[in-house]
Amino acid sequence: MKLLEERIKKDGQLLGEEVLKVDSFLNQQIDPELMKEMGKEFYRLFKDNNITKILTVESSGIAPALMAGYEFGVPVVFARKHKSLTLKDHLYSATVYSFTKQTSNEIAISQKFLNEDDNVLLIDDFLANGQAVKGMLEILDQANASLGGVGIVIEKSFQKGRQLLDDEGIHVESLARIASFENGQVNFVEED
């Protein structure tokens, strides 16, 4: 998505070798107009997949997921993050390890919001090592819901998450795919 790539080039900040900070339009300050365009793009990419619900993880996934949900006309569910869960009654939950922060979180949703009739589009802000998506897939499994696809805002293609999902035959679409960071520059994957 050209608009997003341009925005990343303009406002993204590289920290070290692997971290891209986009808190000026996605992760803390949000550009609603850009989110709207992203929602439309997710709809274009997955509109034939019979999506009944969108699942994401708080907090940065909520804005793109909401705008996509509006385009699809389906509810959006966001999993909450917990340091630990003592009581798992009536919850679907999974453990998500963050390589960046080197900590684990539990993500959980109430069981009443997903069931076997749902065909779910997973949306997240970043795809790096694929841990958050793996956690959401575990939740779908527990709910016997089907997977309608995975929509990612920014994919770091040089990390292993995308390969991992491709290997499982999962339909993944990323709005921006980063091939590498070089000399403070972002290089995007060239699309055919």
Stretch that binds a copy of itself, among 58-66, 96-104, 143-151, 175-183 (CB under 8 A): 58-66
Among 6, 9, 18, 23, binds a copy of itself (CB under 8 A): 23
What is the nearest approach in angstroms of a copy of itself to the Cβ of residue 9?
19
Which tokens is 38 given?
A: 């992203």
Binding-site size for a copy of itself (CB under 8 A) equals 30
Phi first, then psi: give them for residue 162, nearest 5 degrees: -65, -45
Residue 128 counted as an annotated binding residue = yes
Note the helical H segments in 50-151.
62-72, 131-143
Stretch that binds a copy of itself, among 73-81, 133-141, 150-158, 163-171 (CB under 8 A): 73-81
Phi first, then psi: give them for residue 74, nearest 5 degrees: -130, 160
Interaction pattern, residues 103-142, with a copy of itself; x per rule: CB under 8 A: ------xx-xx-----------------------------
Cβ(128)–Cβ(165) below 8 Å:
no
Rank residues 85 and 189 by Cβ distance to a copy of itself and give the closer one. 85
Residue 108 counted as an annotated binding residue = no
Counting contacts by CB under 8 A, is residue 73 touching a copy of itself?
A: yes
146-156 exposure pattern, b = at least 16 Cβ within 10 A, e = fewer: ebbbbbbbbbb
Phi first, then psi: give them for residue 149, nearest 5 degrees: 145, 170
The rounded distance, in Å, linking the Cα atoms of 176 and 98 is 21
What is the nearest approach in angstroms of a copy of itself to the Cβ of residue 121?
13
Among 43, 78, 126, 181, binds a copy of itself (CB under 8 A): 78
The rounded distance, in Å, linking the Cα atoms of 152 and 133 is 10
Which tokens is 130 given?
A: 């694929």
The rounded distance, in Å, linking the Cα atoms of 26 and 43 is 19
The rounded distance, in Å, linking the Cα atoms of 11 and 176 is 14
Which residues are annotated as part of the binding site for 5-phospho-alpha-D-ribose 1-diphosphate?
Answer: 128-132
Binding-site positions read: 20, 27, 128-132, 156
Binding site listing for xanthine: 20, 27, 156
Q: Using CB under 8 A as the criterion, which residues of the chain lie in contact with a copy of itself when the complex forms?
A: 23-25, 28-33, 35-36, 58-59, 62-63, 66-67, 69-70, 73-78, 80, 109-110, 112-113
